[in-house]
Structure 1
């Protein structure tokens, strides 16, 4: 399997957006797992071959799509992939995609269902371009143009999400409501509608993601468990299996992991 992975040389215009370009060539049909990550994933496919992704209900989706915050790995079947993959912070994603993330949580939606004919025009233009620099610039411009101020999340929800991510999932979620001056019921309801997960589930996902970064870098499961806030190594093992369906060693070896430093190298192209 041959991989080409590109990163933009410039920071995207919108905060909370990250991009990478992928070309993956295989000798025949292959399968990978898209490991859960604390971001909404948008895949804009522009190659001659489509790939299939199964959502949490087992339905198959092909081509350009958006994948909400998920609690389980998504199987990806492909022969060749050519795409720009975008990660959107859930604080930014509703304003870019055009609807609350509760409607996307754990599901996969075709980009044409979200953006209509604009999605098809974007794919056509990407296919005609000859450099990653041009493709990244076009996607960046498209995301900025679609941003809607009226769909931004509440400042209180954005603050709660930041505390969860800054603490790597170890912020005591029962304290969030008191800190923003809302009732627990109101924060949990607004957070779930706008982010797509409850604060507790969001904290679990962020903690898992941090642990996966450590495991991919070769740190021992025992040390990762102790440093990441798990009760013990067995607790980490259960969490990784719940999110990925595999034990930690297998999950850390996934070739298209979506763990930044390994799957998205820091080198840039332009």
Structure 2
């Protein structure tokens, strides 16, 4: 693995490191973040169609608040469609891992019960979370950290529960069609009733199929807004019925207007940190 050089000027607050080679596990993206400032960083999270694991490696604790006001300190797992989440701390240094929902189901074990909440990584991985965090803290470079994290993910994926082929197919269709799919058609394609697909998908992915498809579409809309496209143009390109429909979806997922999403600091570093989005993998 070549040296992972921190990407400068991605945003005023962060130095970012990314793996210099493709990972062994499809559906996984990783990035390392180090704050350039010792001032308090308080950042709202824009919901994303992947489960995010944030391993706290800094000197000061990383504190994460979810939509209900509950706080988690240290390494956390942020579930799908988790709106209203904020992370804050000083001297922040962390490794973020984004897992496509099918991979998260195997890697995290209780991911199907995670839903749209934030939980401590210790609650899902037990002692393995502490061991992995200690190894990451002791590592001499981001390259070493990425290798340690990948080994832990591969090990847990091999020992975990895989999603059913039908669910993996349905998720892949949602991604391919940017969320613009009908649940009834997908159920027919896998030979299941709508009720059975709804139940199995929610049990294995953590969201019902309709909300999962909406989340994929929202993510594309959010990134086009952040790229400077107007709300009217984005609504037409993504397939919303009209601009007000886009507005409702953005408010429902992010809790803010499309104008606010367009300038969200959380999205400012995406092109650098997440050049290959995890959720785009159908695995």
The SS at the match of 2:40 is: strand
Contact 2:82–2:117, Cα closer than 8 Å, also in 1? no
Partner of residue 24, structure 2:
13
Contact 1:18 1:87 in 2 (8 A): yes
Q: TM-score, normalised by structure 2?
A: 0.88
**Residues in 1 aligned to 2:74 and 2:231: alpha-carbon distance in whole angstroms:** 36
Q: Tell me the residue number matched to 1:208.
A: 218
Alignment CA distance shift 1:44-1:79 (3 Å): same
For the Cα contact (< 8 Å) 2:183–2:194, is it kept in 1?
no
Matched, 1:172 2:182: yes
Give the alignment partner of residue 93 of structure 2, picking from 82, 89, 95.
Answer: 82
Q: What is the rounded CA distance, in whole Å, between the counterparts of 2:70 and 2:132 in structure 1?
A: 25
Name structure 2 gaps, 5 residues minimum: 1-11, 277-283
Does residue 263 of structure 2 align to residue 253 of structure 1?
yes
- Identify the match of residue 199 of structure 2 among 178, 185, 189: 189
Offset, 1:193? 0.5
3-state secondary structure, aligned to 2:180:
coil
User: Deviations for 1:107-161, whole angstroms, at most 9, x for unmatched residues?
Assistant: 1111112222221121122112221111111101110011145510110011001
The alpha carbon displacement at 1:70 in A equals 2.0
Matched, 1:26 2:26: no
Question: Cα distance, 1:256 vs. partner?
Answer: 2.2
Greater strand content: 1
What's the offset of the Cα at 1:37?
Answer: 0.3
Which residue of 68, 75, 88 corresponds with 1:57? 68
Higher mean C-alpha deviation, range 9-18 or range 69-78: 69-78
Aligned residue pair count: 265
In structure 2, C-alpha distance between the alignment counterparts of 1:104 and 1:69, rounded to whole Å: 8
- Please identify, of 141-150 and 76-85, the stretch whose mean Cα deviation from structure 2 is larger: 141-150
Deviations 1:13-35 (A, max 9, x none): 11110111101143432311111
Measured after TM superposition, the shift of residue 174 of structure 1 is 1.9
Asked if residue 108 in structure 1 is aligned to residue 129 in structure 2, the reply is no
- The Cα RMSD (Å) is 1.7
User: Which residue does 2:135 correspond to in 1?
Assistant: 125
Q: C-alpha displacement at 1:12, in angstroms? A: 1.5
For 2:175, what is the secondary structure of its paired residue? Answer: helix
Unaligned runs of 5+ in 1: none
Change (3 A) 1:94 1:259: farther
1:45 aligned onto 2:60: no
Residues 255 and 263 in structure 1, CA contact (< 8 A), matched pair in contact too:
no
SS of 2:112's partner is helix
Task: Determine the C-alpha separation between the residues in 1 that align with 2:151 and 2:41.
Answer: 33
Q: Separation in 2 of the partners of 1:27 and 1:54?
A: 20
Are residue 242 (structure 1) and residue 252 (structure 2) matched? yes
Quick check: 2:29–2:274 contact (8 Å CA) kept in 1? Answer: no
